[in-house]
Amino acid sequence: MSTHRRHLDRRTAEQMLNGALVTSGDQLNDLLAHAAAPARDGELAGEHAAVMAFRAARLETALVPRQPSMLKALLAKLITAKIAAVAAALAVVAGGVVAAAATGYLPSPLGGDSTVAPVRSSAPTSSTRPSSADAGERDNHDAPGSSGSPSPSPSLTGLCDAYTAGAGSEHGKALDSPAFGALITAAGGKDKVDGYCATLLTHRPGQGGVTVTTAPPPGADEGHGHSGNGSPTSHPSPNTNHPTGPPTTHPSH
Amino acid sequence: MSVRPGDNGPGTPDDPSAALRAAQEDGDEDAFRVLYRAVQPNLLRYLRVLVGDDAEDVASEAWLHIARDLATFRGDLDGFRGWAATIARNRALDHLRQQRRRPVSSEQDEQLAEVPAREDTAESAVNAIGTDEALALIATLPRDQAEAVLLRVVMGLDAAGAARVLGKRAGAVRTAAHRGLRKLADLVDTDPEIRRSTGGVTQTRPPTLKEVR
């Protein structure tokens, strides 16, 4: 079939394509081998976000049919939260302590037992805690701009604001901006963003459901030092909806 | 960050096939990590050729989708690679369509990813041919050939698997891949920079591979 000395006939080509790279030193082989080389730095930068999405998906499955849209929002938020991930991890722990202290779950408020930290800050105790600003973490009634971040998250609300504010100009174009990626994901598609935002903005004050802690409640400082050592990897406990994982995150893009 | 097979939780399989099962059946996050590390680099390279610098964003979207629907996936690791490639490809094509709809700022033409100018002879002679340059060369192929080569060589699919991803017949994909390989062989044969940097055989020969079939 071929008189060429490389003998790149069908059989040889097929072998190369199958990864049975023939002789080394062959340039085409080398090229293919390089294309399929092992992972390099930077290629796994999205690992944390992917794992968080996996966790969120499992939670969603576990909680069906409860508020799937909220979890979608959470999931989208996870992508955008890369930068704040470390802070968020801290906040979850700290917030957990505050919540636990407030609801009596924590035997020793100042972290005498550091292993107890990151638990029990969700549904069962969500009824009360009228106190002050630092309650943001579990306050479902979102005043935009409060430091706590109830779902579906101020960032999505903000994105919707931004998106809606651009009405009249080209929406389609706006949605191509990476900044709206999370919004599109949360909405389930570009064509659904309009409806999603309409719903979100209409319901802004009253969303209930899964709560997400992303920022340290201002008053939570006391908890930081000790509980920070608790193992965040003990998530998820059955009652815990915190999306935050091991603080080994990749803050870079 | 590099792949460190040893840093998974206790009991988490390092083998991607076992990890796939553990992630699906037990929701094992560490197993999902193993799976991600096994597939993401190749997926990203495939996407790089399709969408250039947006590959990471598209890959992130694809992984969201994968994470969400993994429970519903049925198949083995090869099937998973193909499934992941299909999801990523669909995202990439959506992405390209949107770019095309954007008249003003669209700088990307119908070509695939931009290829670093190989006129930088000094630099390319210094740098050994690496993954980036290999991908850049593959990106110069017509898209059907580039995709066929990438799905086979980089994603590790067989002809049938690649054909499913592309929605074509296996024979057509095989042909496209072979053509792509021959073009690549031409490229590396005729490009002195690449030849030198690969440290391969250096005898000159005319690019006759087009005659080969």
The predicted model gives A200-214 an average pLDDT of 53
Cis peptide before A154, with omega less than 30 degrees from 0? Answer: no
pLDDT band at A238; cut points 50, 70, 90: very low
Count of structural domains within chain B: 2
Domain boundaries, chain A: 1-37, 47-152+207-234
Q: Are A85 and A214 in contact (CB under 8 A)?
A: no
Q: Is residue B116 part of a domain?
A: no
CA distance linking residue A244 with residue A78, whole number of Å: 9
pLDDT of residue B79: 96
- Spatial CB neighbours of B99, under 8 Å, sequence gap ≥ 6: A176, B106, B108
Residue B88 sits in a domain whose CATH number is 1.10.1740.10
Q: B72 and B130 share a domain?
A: no
Chain A residues close to B99, C-beta within 8 Å = 176
Q: B92 and B136 share a domain?
A: no
Burial of B25 (0-12, 13-18, 19+ CB in 10 A): exposed
Average pLDDT, chain A: 60
CA distance linking residue A37 with residue B133, whole number of Å: 12
Quick count: other Cβ atoms within 10 Å of Cβ A177? 11
CA neighbor of B140 nearest in space, from B96, B90, B191: B191
Degrees (nearest 5) of the Cα angle B157, B108, B167? 30
Please report the ipTM that was assigned to this predicted complex: 0.74
Quick count: other Cβ atoms within 10 Å of Cβ A231? 12
Q: B136 and B169 share a domain?
A: yes
Q: Is residue B109 part of a domain?
A: no
Q: Which residue has the tokens 């100009």?
A: A169
Q: Do A30 and B200 touch (CB under 8 A)?
A: yes
pLDDT band at A79; cut points 50, 70, 90: low
Domain that holds residue B81: 11-101
Residues 109-168 of B with CB under 8 A from A: 129-131, 133-135, 137-138, 149-150, 152-154, 156, 158-159
A230 min Cα distance to partner chain B (Å): 17
Q: B126 and B93 share a domain?
A: no
> Which of A8, A40, A54 would best serve as a mutation to test chain B binding (most B beta carbons within 10 A)?
A54
pLDDT at B19 over 80: yes
A125 min Cα distance to partner chain B (Å): 27
